[in-house]
Amino acid sequence: MEEVDVEPVVTKIPAVSDGKHMGFAWGPGDILVYETLHKASGASGSGCSFIHEVRKDEDIYSPILRKLFNESHHIFVGLQTIREDLPSKSRKPQFVSISKNYRSVIRACMEELQQVAVSAKDGEAATQYGNQVSILLAIELIWNLCEVLFIDAAPAGSLLLHLLDWVRLHKADVDEKARDVLQSDSPAEHRDYWDVVMSYVLQGRLDEARQMLMKQATLQPAARNMYKVMDTLLSKMPFFNPSGTQTLTEFDVKWRHWHEEVDRCLQDNSFASNKHLEIICKLLLGDEDTLLEHKELLGTWYHFLVTRLLFCHPTVKPAELHYYAQSCMTMFLDSRSVPEPLDSILLAAFEFDIHQVIKDCSIALNNWWFVAHLTDLLDHCKLLQSHNLHFGSNLREFLLLEYAAGLFTHHSLWQLAVDYFDHCPEFGRVYLELQIERVPLDTERKALKVLRICEQRQMSEQVRSICKIMAMRALRNNRLGSALSWSIRAKDAAFATLISERFLQDYCTRGTFSDLDLIDNLGPAMLLSDRLTFLGKYREFHKLYEEKRFTEAAKLLLSLMTAKIAPRSFWMTLLTDALPLLEQKEVIFSADQTYELMYCLGELTSSLNSEAPDTDRPMQEEDIEVTKVELLRLALARNLAMAIVKEGTVGT
């Protein structure tokens, strides 16, 4: 088995420190830890009644970071729609645009977190927000570099321009300092004046450096010529123009001529009387010692790298970057200090080791959001095709599955995870089937959402499971209509039969049906079970009776018994329902129909007589049953006589 790269982070749990025995239960995204009753020898003290929840990913519970997850989800879904058959030239600008969209979402969340951190009254909360800002800063820094090196894949010449933009974007404190200097009464005499000038030069912002130097030149008329020479050197420094007609070779020749001119000025001691201008001249020559003297202004080894490339190797090729990156990191960092995880990640990027970047980010960051989305984008750029994992899935799918599985533990973000699983062709459906069953169905609305997701993906087993759970819950709460509706959706004949029985029992007790709208509109669903069919047809009989369509009602009532659709236990109720029709002045039941009713009554009474007498049954109930039978016999005999007379009269 492969060894882990770093030791896992230790999570301290209060009760463990006393040497207590702990029990735990794994959840999909967290662990429940609790103290057990078992006591080790020598252990003392009372038991702890707390259950501790150890969360794997705390970020999904941050309201601001939830915006990051929501917004990036839309970008992710849009990325999946880019056609793979398009030529790479037309796809590349789309990928760069998507990468910038991801970065803009990161920046928006970062700015909001900064505002909340500043306004937070609780010190602990402010620290937490500050830490999240630091993580997002690092994420955006890495993503931006990956965009330059891998996605945009800038060639020599353009590469340095992109790296300059990268450094300028992530070293914004220069602008704050410059604002303070310019807003002061005498900018040229401000204590940070020369720091701002040097910082502008180190970032290649030479026009701004020239504007700053003019303020100093106006204060020193005697040194005006010296400032003019420096202004000329700064204005002449060539920058490669990718959209221009100049070739890289022509630019290189022009740059070397300018470099020689700067070197001549230094050799001629043109700035010997002004140490600041002399330092600027050395910076323009890319003098390593002078650059390293300005570590504080550079701040990081990668800023040092880009500045060194700007003034020494402006036509650096992508393949040469790793050499300069390694040497700059070694020169800039203290030989005794261990590189931070961020340094290792950036160095791996400069070495064009994409898989090492993803691996180190997975270890260093506390959730899968960054690696999942970056890997997905790089995979679409066809940069990860050669890297498959030993356990069945490719790297992109593995990271997306891990990220989506984490989202499923959240009460609202689980809906986003569905789309991520949808775009994992190998294991996505399996994961979705397992995870969707764990979504707590707190409300009917949420259950319908989950159900819709399952139905859209033909997940029939999960559909049945959800419907059964909701049907059982509705039945426990005596909501028969809802229970029947869910059981019909589940196509569960046994459960539909059970609920139909409950409806019929309710009818026998109360004399009316509940949830008439549902029963009236069963349609083909009533064929799910015999009992449900009977319920639907019996309700239809009542409607016909209410509409005074007695002949049709009588025919339907008889068919329910003769076709054996009605349960035997319900025959007495049906025969009782026939009484008002038998008592009508007009003959409703024909002679044949009356014979059939008599046969049904005879079968019912014979079965009742053959049963063992129920000692628990009150005498009054038995008397009522006997009275009903006598009334029915009398009504049937009278109806038969009337039917025979009527039919005989019609015949003659």
Domain termination residue (choose one: 273, 306, 339) = 339
One domain for residues 564 and 641: yes
As a whole number, the mean pLDDT across the chain is 82
Q: Are 463 and 455 contacting, i.e. CB atoms less than 8 angstroms apart?
A: yes
Q: What share of the chain is helix, strand, coil (3-state, %, to 5)?
A: 70, 5, 30
C-alpha to C-alpha distance for 205 and 315, rounded to whole angstroms: 18
Mean pLDDT computed over 307-319: 93
Q: Are 541 and 553 contacting, i.e. CB atoms less than 8 angstroms apart?
A: yes
Whether the pLDDT of residue 234 is over 50: the answer is: yes
In terms of residue numbers, what domain contains 9?
1-56
pLDDT of residue 360: 92
Would you say residue 11 lies in a domain?
yes
One domain for residues 145 and 191: no
One domain for residues 71 and 199: no
pLDDT band at 39 (very low <50, low <70, confident <90, very high): low
One domain for residues 174 and 35: no
One domain for residues 223 and 308: yes
Would you say residue 104 lies in a domain?
yes
Domain termination residue (choose one: 339, 365, 398) = 339
Query: Which residue from 77, 136, 107, 162 is spatially nearest to 380, judged by alpha carbons?
Result: 77
pLDDT band at 62 (very low <50, low <70, confident <90, very high): confident
One domain for residues 202 and 280: yes
One domain for residues 224 and 367: no
For the ranges 85-94, 297-306, 634-643, the maximum mean pLDDT occurs at: 297-306
CA distances from 506 to 509, 528, 535 (A): 5, 21, 12
Q: Which residues of 440-473 are buried (b: 16+ CB within 10 A; e: fewer)?
A: ebeeeebbebbbebbeebebeebbeebbbebbeb
pLDDT per residue over 241-260, tens digit each?
Answer: 888 788 999 999 999 999 99
pLDDT band at 607 (very low <50, low <70, confident <90, very high): low
One domain for residues 214 and 142: no
Q: Hunting for tokens 């986003």 — which residue is that?
A: 416
pTM for the full model? 0.79
Q: Are 340 and 360 contacting, i.e. CB atoms less than 8 angstroms apart?
A: no
Would you say residue 308 lies in a domain?
yes
pLDDT per residue over 431-490, tens digit each?
Answer: 999 999 888 888 889 889 999 999 999 998 898 888 888 888 888 888 887 887 888 787
Helix extents (H) in 147-172: 158-169
C-alpha to C-alpha distance for 148 and 146, rounded to whole angstroms: 5
One domain for residues 173 and 257: yes
For the ranges 105-109, 152-156, 634-638, the maximum mean pLDDT occurs at: 105-109
Task: Give the single-character DSSP code of 9.
Answer: P
Coil, strand, or helix at residue 295?
A: helix
Domain count, the chain: 4
pLDDT band at 3 (very low <50, low <70, confident <90, very high): very low
Residue 143: phi and psi, rounded to 5, are -60, -45
pLDDT of residue 19: 63
One domain for residues 45 and 64: no
C-alpha to C-alpha distance for 58 and 639, rounded to whole angstroms: 79
One domain for residues 146 and 123: yes
Type of residue at 94: Q
Given phi > 0 = left and psi -120 to 50 = alpha, else beta, which region is 239?
Answer: beta
Q: Are 588 and 551 contacting, i.e. CB atoms less than 8 angstroms apart?
A: yes
Q: Hunting for tokens 């339907």 — which residue is that?
A: 556
Whether the pLDDT of residue 4 is over 60: the answer is: no
C-alpha to C-alpha distance for 42 and 486, rounded to whole angstroms: 57
DSSP for 301-315? Answer: HHHHHHHHHHHH-TT
Task: Give the single-character DSSP code of 148.
Answer: I
DSSP for 175-210? Answer: HHHHHHHHHSS-GGGSTTHHHHHHHHHHTT-HHHHH
pLDDT of residue 2: 43
Whether the pLDDT of residue 150 is over 50: the answer is: yes
One domain for residues 5 and 85: no
Between 365 and 122, whose confidence is greater?
Answer: 365
pLDDT band at 161 (very low <50, low <70, confident <90, very high): very high
C-alpha to C-alpha distance for 482 and 467, rounded to whole angstroms: 10
Q: Are 367 and 59 contacting, i.e. CB atoms less than 8 angstroms apart?
A: yes
Spatial strand order of the sheet with 51-55 comes to 22-26, 30-35, 51-55
C-alpha to C-alpha distance for 306 and 395, rounded to whole angstroms: 31
